[in-house]
Amino acid sequence: MFKRKKAPTEIEDAINGTLRGDALQNALNFAAFLRANGLSPDWHESGDGWSIMRADESIGFVVVNRTEQWGIKPRSWTVFFNSCDFDGPANDDLKETAWAHLNICGHYLSGGKRCGCGSQPGKRETVFGKECEHLCHSPLGFTNPDAQALEHAKKLLLMLK
């Protein structure tokens, strides 16, 4: 069960203290979107980032990296999805964006040498009708999304809401 824990800082403070340029503006835009849509970013008990909460359920996760973590470069940010159980129709552009951001399991890719999600070799999931294998327990990941990818990430989150 998800445990709420007080963040050492608000997500906006971490964004302002870490990111620069377009990444900074896009991340602040995303944090405002979360709050405006009742998807409160709550500090996660792991101490790695903020869970995107729908009521008492985490539907995603935001990490703001000051240093390299899980193979993601420093001074970056990532939106991870906990599920691809999207409700509602999606146009081809939205589907293509989702497929382009599939998060292949690091344990699988490294032959078991690097793991950010446990010892499982990845899971199989269907994403908008496409069978996908070796996905991480967070099957989608948007790292430093540009404005268009960010808009699609927002639409996808609302489809989970």
Q: Give me the DSSP letters along 24-43.
A: HHHHHHHHHHHHHTT--EEE
By CB atoms closer than 10 A (0-12, 13-18, 19+), residue 81 is buried
Q: For residue range 50-91, list pLDDT tens digits in order.
A: 999 988 889 999 999 765 555 556 578 999 999 888 988 899
List, for the chain, all residue ranges whose pLDDT scores fall below the cut of 50. Answer: 1-5
Domain boundaries along the sequence of the chain: 11-160
Q: What is the pLDDT of residue 3?
A: 45
DSSP 8-class letter at 62: E
